[in-house]
Chain A
Amino acid sequence: GAGVSQSPRYKVAKRGQDVALRCDPISGHVSLFWYQQALGQGPEFLTYFQNEAQLDKSGLPSDRFFAERPEGSVSTLKIQRTQQEDSAVYLCASSLARRLASKTGELFFGEGSRLTVL
């Protein structure tokens, strides 16, 4: 398809397990973002890539969270030793250009990966 694809759509993990969430952005999109959305809240920024370079990881809540985009396309968000507070929807977004508030900089979101930690 032409949109941002995320997998798995749903993931249930036991506390302490490691999880990996995948994002396949729109082909040719330079910028890639990960957001975390808790129930009833707006998305919270986690990290940003421009091509393969991770330019901002200030939103990652702890060192258990790690993201990579080794070839400047697909990205993986990894959460180690999951905790109950990690339960949320993880949204990936991509954009064509650097300037976000413009037509070419529009963020395109995937449908998210819903993580439930028991």
Chain B
Amino acid sequence: QKEVEQDPGPLSVPEGAIVSLNCTYSNSAFQYFMWYRQYSRKGPELLMYTYSSGNKEDGRFTAQVDKSSKYISLFIRDSQPSDSATYLCAYDGGYQKVTFGTGTKLQVIP
């Protein structure tokens, strides 16, 4: 069992839709969580990071961590075609290496 599980998709939505991307993790000791976005043939780039439980909002993006259910979510409001990419959830276990999920491929159709 991978430490971070993520539905690979692909997920296809119409422009303007609200997108919900989810991950589950296995180790309750994890505290720092991140979402990375990766465009085709590019390296991942950090979208958001959160610590412990709760919500964090940045523009159209909201990251949510529910430690009781070991669930990480990323919500994208008013999705745009430019949001089409692979979204990787990740955690920092505090040992200087980020562990990534498999990624969910999102396509926003105009």
Q: Are B43 and A112 in contact (CB under 8 A)?
A: yes
Total inter-chain residue pairs, C-beta < 8 Å = 61
Which of A4, A50, A111 has the most C-beta atoms of chain B within 10 angstroms of its own C-beta? A111
User: Do A45 and B99 form a contact, CB below 8 Å, given A40-B8, A91-B43, A109-B45?
Assistant: yes
Q: What band does the interface of chain B fall in when counting residues whose beta carbon is under 8 Å from A?
A: 20 to 34
The SS class assigned to the A binding surface is loop
The yes or no answer to B88 lying at the interface (CB within 8 A) is: yes
Q: How far is the CA of A102 from the CA of B33 in the complex (A)?
A: 10
The yes or no answer to A64 lying at the interface (CB within 8 A) is: no
Instruction: For the complex, count residues of A whose C-beta is within 8 A of B.
Output: 27
> Which of A11-19, A71-79, A93-101 lies on the face that meets chain B?
A93-101
Partner among B6, B49, B90 whose Cβ is within 8 Å of the Cβ of A102: B49
Q: In this complex, what residue of A is CB-closest to B46?
A: A106
The yes or no answer to A65 lying at the interface (CB within 8 A) is: no
26 examples of A-B residue contacts, CB within 8 angstroms: A4-B43, A31-B96, A33-B97, A33-B98, A40-B102, A41-B102, A42-B6, A42-B88, A42-B90, A43-B44, A44-B100, A45-B97, A45-B98, A45-B99, A55-B96, A100-B32, A100-B96, A100-B98, A101-B32, A101-B34, A101-B92, A106-B49, A110-B43, A111-B42, A111-B43, A112-B42
